[in-house]
Structure 1
C-alpha cells in the first residue's frame, strides 16, 4: 500500500516556535522549495517524531525537540491515508506528553495508540537515546534526511525480512519463513534467559553469579568475624600485659627524687640570673652616658667648621648677584609694555565674539521656530499611536494561558468520554406505532428511541412496566454531570461560553501582540532627536518637550545675520590677539631667562646665609648647656666608670653560666611529661581492656566457626550451579550462532532478485553496468567493463544517486508486499551534474506515479521545470 501524507502541523518544535502547517500534499510528486534555515529538515524530523518516537520518552532526542531556551511541549499533528482510509495522529512530547490516533476504528490514546501505529507502519519501538532509523521499518529507509543519501547504505532488519518474504517464492527457500521463525523464536526465548541482545550476560547467569557472590560474601564475612574474635582475645592479653608494665613504672619514685633536686638548683640559677641582669643594666647606663658626652664634643667641632665655611660662601654669592641685577630690571619693563598690548587685543576680540554670538543666537532662534512646529506635528501623531497601543495592550491582556486552554481541552475530552460511557451503559428503548395512552414517568411519550439512565416507570393503560438500567448507568450519568460542571466552572472563571470562544480570544490576542510590535516601531520612527531644539529621541522626551514648551517662542524679525562677515571679523580679532600673545610670551620668556640666571645666584646666597645661621644656632645651643664648661673632665670620668662596670658584668656572666635555668626547667618538664604520659597510657589501656572484654563476651557465643563452615558449603554449591548454567548458556549461544550462519548462507540467494530489480533503475544512469550486493542487501560495488568499483570509491555524486535509486527499488518491492511506502528526500541530488540530474528527475517523476514522493529543497532553478505540486511552509502554491 502507498502511504499518502495530506497535512502536517507543528507547534513549539525546535525552530517552529509558533504554529506552522503545510497543507495540500497530493498523491504524486510534491516539492517544498524554501531557502536555507527555514525549517525543511526540521519538518522531516517532526514527521519522524510523530510516527516513531514514543510520546512519553524523555531521552536525548526528545529533549532536543523543545525550542532552545523554552520549556514547552512540542506538538505535531499529521493527517495521512493508509490502506485507502484516512488517519490523523496528534502527538505531544515532554510537557503534557500525549498521543491520539483517529482512524477507521475510531480513536486510540496512550500506549494503545503507539501499538496501533507500529502495527500500521510495520515499525518497532525505538529504545535508543538518539533515534534508530532501523526500527522505523520501511519509512526509516525511505524518509531520507539531509546528507544521509551521500553514502550507499543497506536496509534495516525489518525491511530485509519484508523483502525476503516477497522473494521467497522466487528463490525457493523457506529460511526466514514461518518454520524458521518458530524455531528461532523458541531459541531466542531460551537465549534471552541467559544473554542480552548485545551478548551480555543476564537473567539466569546473573542470578547464579549473584548467588555465588552472596554465598562467598557470607563465607568471607563469617571467616572475618571468627578471625576477629581470635584477634580480640589476643589483643586483650597484650593490653593486660602492657597495663602491668605501666603500673610498675608509675610506682617507681626515681623521677620524684630527681625532680626535687632540679627544683632546688632552679632557685640558685634564678638568683644568679637576677644579679646578671642588674650588672648589665648598670653597664648600659654608664656606656650610654659616655657615648652622649662623646657625641656632644664631636657635634661642637663639626658646627664650628660649618660656621666658618658658610661665612666665606655668603660673601662670594653676594658679589656675583650684584653684577646681574641691571639685566633683570630691563626684562621686567619690557613685560609691562607687552601686557598692555595683550589687554587691548583681548578687549577687541571680546567685542567681535559678542557680535558673532548675538548673530548665532538669532540664527538658532529661527531654526528653533521651525523645529518646534515639526515637534508639535510629531506629538499629535504620537498621541494617536499611543491610543492604538493602549487598545492593543488591552487585547493582549485577554490572552488565556496555555495551561488554562489545556484544562478546557481536557475537560472537553472528559465530557466526551463521560457521554460515551453513559451511552455505553444506559438502556435504550424504541417505540413505534401509536403512542396514545403511554406515559413514561408520568409524561406522554412520542414515537422514537429514548435512552434510560435511571429507574423508569412506563404506564400502558392499567399496566405499568418498571425498567431498571444497569448499575453503572447512574454513575455514568453522574460522571457526565460532574464533567459538565467542571467545564462550565472553568468557562465561567474565564468569562467564556465555550472552547471555541477561548481559541478565538487567543487568536485576537496574538494578532494584537503582533500589532503592538508594529506600533512600537512606528512610535520609535516618529520620535527622532532634534539637536536644533534640544530634543532627545524617544516618546517620553517628545512629551516632556511639548509640556515644557508652552507657547511658541517668537522668532526675531528682520533679515538673517551675516554670520560669515561676523566670523571674518572674529578671525581678524583672533589674529591680532595671537600676535599680542606672541609678543607677551616673548617678554615673559626673556624675564624668565633673566630670572633663571638670577635664581641660582639667589639660591646660593640664601643657602649660604641659612647654613651660617644654622651653624651659629647649633654652637650657641651646645655652649649654653650647663655641662659644656666641664665637658672634658666629665668625658674622662664617664669612660673610667664604663670600664669598671664592664669588669663587673663579665664576672656576673660567668656566675650565671654555671647555673642555666632553661636547661633545669626543661629537665623538670620532661619528668612531668613522662609522669602524665604514664597516667594517660594507664587510662587508655584500662578503657581498651574493658572494650575488648565486652567484645569477647558478646561475640564469643555466636558460633562463628560453625557459621563459616556452613557458608563455605553453600558457596561450593552455588559455584557448581553457576558452572551448569554457564554450560547451558554457552550451548544456546553456539546453537544461535549456527542458525545465523545457516540463515546468512540462505540470504545470499536473495541477492539476485534484488539486483535484478535495482538494475532496471541504475541501468538508465550507468548503462552496461552490473551490480554486486552483500548478504545484508547492501549495494557493495558496480561492475563496468569487467572492473569492479566499490561504492566507497565512487564520487560523492554517484554514491548519492545510487543511494536514491536503490531506495526506489526497495520501495517497489515493499509495495508488492503491501507495506506503507512514501518517499521523502531532504535536499537531494546536491552533487549531480546537469545530465544525470535530468535522468534522476525523470526517475523520481515515474516513481511518483506509483507512490507519493516529497522533495525538500532550497534550489528553485533545479526543479522549476518539473511538473509537480509546489508547496511552502505556510501553505500550497499551485
Structure 2
C-alpha cells in the first residue's frame, strides 16, 4: 500500500484545510518544531484508517477553539496497482466511504473492509484499544512509543503467524491447532492461563470445601469451648464457696480500723510539731531583731571612730587645696597679662594686613571706575545710534504682508495686462480730418484699442461698428479692473507711488534694522544690563573707593607691627598657656570646694552620730537589748530541743505510714468483695451459656458437617486431577506445536538478522511465543529487553518493525511505516546505521518519518517537507 495524498480539515490544531500530496513510494521526511502539527498528521492517518467514524469519544478531534467544527480526513492510496480513496468525517454528520477501483463501500462495510485489508480488528464500541490495532499498531509508531515493541507485537501476533504460515506453506492458520485450542479451553475452565490459579468449577469446589472446613472448625471450637466452660464452672464454684467461708474482706476491714487509729495519732503529733515550729520561728525572729539592734549600735561606734579619722584627713586635704588654689590664681594673672600683650600685637598685625588689602582694593576700585566711565560713554553713543536707527526704521517700515501681496498683485497685473493687450483689437489711425468714436472726436495719429463694441462715424461715408472677436475679453477686463483697484488700494495703504518705491523703501528699512541690531550688540557688550545698571555699578565702585580710603585713614600706625603669622602664633601660644592655667585653677578650685564640702559633711555626720551614742535613752535601750538577747537565746534553745524530740517521735510513727495502710486494707477489702461478686456473675453466665449450647444439638451438627466436608474433598480432588491432566496434555501439545512453529520463524529470523547486524554485529534476537523480542544475545551474554538501555530498546524497536514489515510484505499484506520522533535517544553512529536501514527498507515499503530535528536527518537524500510550509500552502 502506498499513500499518494492526505487531506486534513478542521482536525485538532488544523482549523482550516491542509493537503499533503506528492508522497513518494519510499522515504518521506516531515520536519517542524514541537507543536507544529507532526503528530497531528500521524494521528489523522491513524484515525481515518482505524477509528470508527461514528464513535462518540472523538470530540477531542475538534479544532481548537471551534466547538462546531467537522473534523474530516481523506487519503488517496494505491493498493496492488489499484487506485483507492478513503474519506471519513467525525463528530458531526459522520460519514465513511471507501473506494477501491470502481467498487465503493460505505459506512460499516467500509470499515470492515479496511480491517480485513490492513490486518486489525474493530472495537465493539468505544475507542480503538491497543489489542485491536493489529498490524497498524505495530508499524505505525506513535511519539515516545518506539521502544514499546512487545505489546504491539503481541497484538499483531496472529497476523504475523498467518504470514509465516503462508511463507512456509504450513496448513496452520491461527498459530495453534484445534486440539490445543480445545485442551486449553477445557483447562482454562479450571485454571487461569497466566498464574495457573483455580477458576470455574475447581475454584468453586475449593471455595465450598474451604467454607465447610471453616464451619466445621468453628463447631469444633464451640465444642472445645463447651468442655472448657464446664471445667471452668466447677473451678469457679469451688473458689466461690471457699472464699464465702473464709470471708477475707472482714479481716482486711479490721486491720483498716486499727491502721486508721494509728494514723489519727500521727496526725495529732504532726500538728504538735507544727505548733512548736511556729513558736520557734517567732522566737528566732525576735532574737534576730535584738541581735540586729545590737549589731547596729556596734557598727555606729565603729563608724564614729572611722569618721573622726576621715575628718582629720579631709581637713588636711582642704589646707593643701587652698595653697594650690592660691598658686594657680597667681599663674592665671601672669598668663592673662601675657595674653593681653600678644592680643594687642595680633590686632596691630591684622591692621597691617587690612591696610595692605585696602590699598589693593583702592587701586582696583579706581581702575573699575575708569573702566565704567569709558563703558558708559561708549554705551551712550551706541544707545543714541540705536534710537536714531529705530526712529528712522519706524518711519520707513512697511507691512510685510501687504508688501508681499502688492508684489504678487503687480506680477498678476503685468501678466493680465499682457494677455488683455494681446486679446484687444487694435486700430492704428492717421487722420487728416476728424471722426467720432462712440460720440467722441478722434483726430491726428494714434492707436485705438477696442475692448468693447464701438461705433465709428465716418461722416458722409457712413459708419463702422467694430465688435471684438475674443469672447472672454470682457471677463479679462473686469478681472483687470478688479486687480488694478486692489493694486491702487495697496499702494495707497503702504503710502508709496509704485512697487519699485515700496521695494526701495523696504530695502532702506532692512538696512536700518541691521544697523540697529549692530549698535544694539555694541550696547550689549558695554552695558549687557543697560546703561542705568552700568551707572549704578559706577556709583557703587566710587562709593567703595571712598569707603576704602576712609577705612585706611582710620587705621592706627602699623609701622612697628609684627608679621601676621608670627603675631598669630604668639597669641595662640599665650592663649593656650592661659587656658591651661585656667584649667589648673578650675581644678584647684573644684578640689578645694570638694574638700571643704567633704569636711563639712563629715563633721556634721560625726556630730550627729556622737550625739546619738551619748543619748541616755539610746544607752538604756541598748542595755535592755543586751539583756533580752541572753533570755531569747535560752528560750530558742529550749524550743529547738522540744521540736526535735517531737520530730523524732513523728518520724518513728511515719515509718509504718498508718494512713497508707488503712487505705490499703480498705482497698483490699473492696477487691475481695468485688472478686467474689465477679465469681458469682461468671458462674451465672457460664451456666446460662452451657444450658444454651447443650440445647442446640452441637454434636449432631458437627457430624453432619464432617460428612459434607468429606464429600466436598472428593469433588475438589477429582477436579484437581482433571486440571493436572489437562495441564500436562497442554504442555506436551504446546511443545510439539512450538517445535513446528520454530521452523516457521526462519523467514522472520532471517529478516531480523539482516537489520540487526547493522548496529549489533555478531548478535541474535530471541523471539517469544508471540513473536515479540525477548532477549538479545551478544558476546556470549543474553540480556532481556527490560535490562537494555532506553536508547537500545528504541533502536531495536525500529529494526524489528522493519523486519516485521518485510515479513508482511512477502506474505502479500499491505505495509506502511510511520515513525513519529523515533531515534531520539540514539547517538550519531547508531543513528547513521538506522538511516541506512531505513533507506534499505524504503526500497520495499513506504515510510513516513516525522522529526523535530531536521539537521539530524538532512543526509537521507530525500526532500524535507516542513509542516509550516504545508500550512502556508494551504
Give the conservation status (yes or no) of the 8 Å contact 1:286–1:641. Answer: yes
User: Displacement, 1:148?
Assistant: 6.2
Are 1:724 and 2:721 counterparts? yes
Give the conservation status (yes or no) of the 8 Å contact 1:825–1:854. Answer: yes
Equivalent in 623, 637, 640 of residue 631 of structure 2: 640
User: Displacement, 1:285?
Assistant: 1.4
The whole-number CA distance in structure 1 between the counterparts of 2:869 and 2:715 is: 65
State the secondary structure of the residue aligned to 1:31.
strand
User: Displacement, 1:136?
Assistant: 3.4
Give the conservation status (yes or no) of the 8 Å contact 1:771–1:782. Answer: yes
Gap runs ≥5 in structure 1: 92-97, 338-557, 560-582
* More displaced 10-residue stretch of structure 1: 223-232 or 296-305: 296-305
User: Displacement, 1:813?
Assistant: 3.9
State the secondary structure of the residue aligned to 1:173.
coil
User: Displacement, 1:611?
Assistant: 9.9
Give the conservation status (yes or no) of the 8 Å contact 1:3–1:852. Answer: no
State the secondary structure of the residue aligned to 1:866.
coil
Are 1:858 and 2:849 counterparts? no
The whole-number CA distance in structure 2 between the counterparts of 1:778 and 1:54 is: 31
User: Displacement, 1:224?
Assistant: 1.7
User: Displacement, 1:165?
Assistant: 2.8
State the secondary structure of the residue aligned to 2:819.
strand
The residue number in structure 2 matching 1:504 is: none
Gap runs ≥5 in structure 2: 99-104, 344-527, 530-571
User: Displacement, 1:670?
Assistant: 2.1
CA deviations 1:146-189 (Å, max 9, x no partner) are 67668999982454543443343543333x42594433332332
The residue number in structure 1 matching 2:687 is: 693
User: Displacement, 1:21?
Assistant: 7.7
The whole-number CA distance in structure 1 between the counterparts of 2:51 and 2:617 is: 112
List aligned pairs for 1:74-223, cutoff 5 A: 79-80=74-75, 84-88=84-88, 90=90, 102-104=96-98, 107=107, 121-123=118-120, 136-145=133-142, 156-174=153-171, 176-177=172-173, 180-204=176-200, 205-223=202-220
User: Displacement, 1:46?
Assistant: 8.5
Q: 1:254 to 1:779 in 2, by over 3 A?
A: closer
CA deviations 1:484-512 (Å, max 9, x no partner) are xxxxxxxxxxxxxxxxxxxxxxxxxxxxx
User: Displacement, 1:722?
Assistant: 5.7
User: Displacement, 1:240?
Assistant: 2.8
The whole-number CA distance in structure 1 between the counterparts of 2:851 and 2:268 is: 109
CA deviations 1:733-779 (Å, max 9, x no partner) are 524542453344333443476469x58xx99x89xx99966554869
Give the conservation status (yes or no) of the 8 Å contact 2:290–2:628. Answer: no
The residue number in structure 2 matching 1:871 is: 867
The whole-number CA distance in structure 1 between the counterparts of 2:765 and 2:841 is: 26
The whole-number CA distance in structure 2 between the counterparts of 1:755 and 1:241 is: 89
User: Displacement, 1:293?
Assistant: 1.9
The residue number in structure 1 matching 2:808 is: 814
What value does the CA root-mean-square deviation take over the aligned residues? 6.4
The residue number in structure 2 matching 1:24 is: 20
User: Displacement, 1:664?
Assistant: 2.4
Q: 1:863 to 1:698 in 2, by over 3 A?
A: same
The residue number in structure 2 matching 1:664 is: 658
The whole-number CA distance in structure 2 between the counterparts of 1:625 and 1:874 is: 130
State the secondary structure of the residue aligned to 2:867.
strand
CA deviations 1:445-476 (Å, max 9, x no partner) are xxxxxxxxxxxxxxxxxxxxxxxxxxxxxxxx
The whole-number CA distance in structure 2 between the counterparts of 1:621 and 1:740 is: 137
User: Displacement, 1:76?
Assistant: 8.5
The whole-number CA distance in structure 2 between the counterparts of 1:679 and 1:125 is: 83
Tell me how many residue pairs correspond in the alignment: 587
Q: 1:273 to 1:869 in 2, by over 3 A?
A: closer
The whole-number CA distance in structure 2 between the counterparts of 1:725 and 1:800 is: 45
User: Displacement, 1:827?
Assistant: 4.7
List aligned pairs for 1:210-609, cutoff 5 A: 210-250=207-247, 253-299=250-296, 300-301=299-300, 304=304, 307=307, 311=311
Greater radius of gyration (CA): 2
**Superposition TM-score, scaled by structure 1 size:** 0.52
The whole-number CA distance in structure 2 between the counterparts of 1:724 and 1:56 is: 50
Are 1:843 and 2:839 counterparts? yes
The residue number in structure 2 matching 1:676 is: 670
**Superposition TM-score, scaled by structure 2 size:** 0.52
The whole-number CA distance in structure 2 between the counterparts of 1:667 and 1:834 is: 94
CA deviations 1:799-840 (Å, max 9, x no partner) are 988865664453244245334634334255965579968974
The residue number in structure 2 matching 1:553 is: none
User: Displacement, 1:220?
Assistant: 1.8
The residue number in structure 2 matching 1:398 is: none
Give the conservation status (yes or no) of the 8 Å contact 1:4–1:852. Answer: no
Q: 1:747 to 1:664 in 2, by over 3 A?
A: same
The whole-number CA distance in structure 2 between the counterparts of 1:734 and 1:858 is: 50
State the secondary structure of the residue aligned to 2:30.
strand
The whole-number CA distance in structure 1 between the counterparts of 2:583 and 2:162 is: 119
